[in-house]
């Protein structure tokens, strides 16, 4: 009887020990590793989500900025024609001159060059008239719907003594055009 009991005890203890070892190595350790990996993945996912949320807060700001940029560019682009039409510019200057009482004595267009995907052309214009009229004409040129640049100006009296009120003004004007082909001068358009 005693030997049977001892044998049974041994069998039970051995089985329990084997099950425990199997459980520990085959199930508990891999399960623990798997849980640790999952926790780490969860942590990194949470960080990624936080980072994404932070980035997505820019969405509203970017949308508004894009709207503003588009409106600004559209408004500015309206002031630059698609072709360098010197004739059209001259007729505008002549009509402005007639209105202000300024005579356009000479007009010398220069060579057109490229400027950041756009075209620019210098035009030298000589005006004769009173100071106020010339300044008014310059103001009209600066504020007209077409964008022009006035880099240089040379005003002098026609007579040597400077007693007369008629002045001669040599005005350098730069015209700009934005060719339709390169409607967007963006570097990313390829």
In the region spanning residues 69 to 108, those forming contacts with other proteins, defined by CB under 8 A, are 69-70, 72-73, 76-77
Tokens 């220069």 — which residue?
110
Q: Which is nearer to other proteins, 106 or 162 (CB)?
A: 162
Q: Compute the least distance from the CB of residue 71 to other proteins, in Å.
A: 10
Q: Does 56 bind other proteins (CB under 8 A)?
A: yes
Tokens 């040129």 — which residue?
141
Q: Which residues contact 109 (CB under 8 A, 6 or more apart)?
A: 86, 121, 122, 123, 124
Interface residue with other proteins, options 111, 161, 180, 181 (CB under 8 A): 161
Q: Compute the least distance from the CB of residue 89 to other proteins, in Å.
A: 16
Cα(173)–Cα(7) distance, rounded to whole angstroms? 114
Of the listed pieces 6-14, 87-95, 103-111, 121-129, which binds other proteins according to CB under 8 A? Answer: 6-14
| Planar angle of CA 79, 85, 90, nearest 5 degrees | 95
Q: Compute the least distance from the CB of residue 81 to other proteins, in Å.
A: 14
Q: Does 25 bind other proteins (CB under 8 A)?
A: no
Q: Does 16 bind other proteins (CB under 8 A)?
A: yes
Q: Compute the least distance from the CB of residue 103 to other proteins, in Å.
A: 18
Q: Does 49 bind other proteins (CB under 8 A)?
A: yes
Q: Does 126 bind other proteins (CB under 8 A)?
A: no
Q: Does 166 bind other proteins (CB under 8 A)?
A: no
**Residue 121 and residue 108 in contact, taking contact as beta carbons nearer than 8 Å:** no
Cα(122)–Cα(148) distance, rounded to whole angstroms? 10
- Per DSSP, helices labelled H in the chain are 2-22, 29-56, 58-77, 86-100, 131-143
């Amino acid at each position: 009887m005693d030997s049977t009991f001892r044998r049974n005890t041994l069998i039970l203890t051995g089985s329990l020990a084997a099950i425990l070892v199997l459980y520990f190595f085959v199930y508990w350790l891999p399960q623990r590793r798997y849980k640790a990996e999952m926790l780490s993945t969860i942590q990194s996912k949470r960080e990624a989500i936080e980072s994404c949320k932070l980035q997505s807060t820019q969405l509203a700001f970017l949308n508004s900025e894009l709207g503003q940029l588009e409106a600004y560019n559209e408004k500015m682009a309206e002031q630059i024609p698609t072709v360098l039409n010197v004739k059209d510019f001259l007729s505008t200057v002549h009509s402005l001159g007639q209105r202000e009482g300024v005579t356009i004595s000479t007009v010398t267009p220069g060579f057109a060059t490229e400027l950041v995907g756009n075209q620019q052309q210098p035009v030298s214009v000589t005006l004769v008239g009173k100071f106020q009229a010339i300044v008014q004409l310059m103001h009209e040129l600066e504020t007209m719907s077409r964008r022009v640049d006035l880099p240089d100006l040379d005003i002098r009296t026609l007579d040597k003594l400077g007693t007369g009120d008629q002045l001669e003004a040599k005005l350098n004007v730069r015209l700009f055009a934005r060719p339709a082909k390169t409607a967007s001068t963006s570097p990313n358009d390829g």
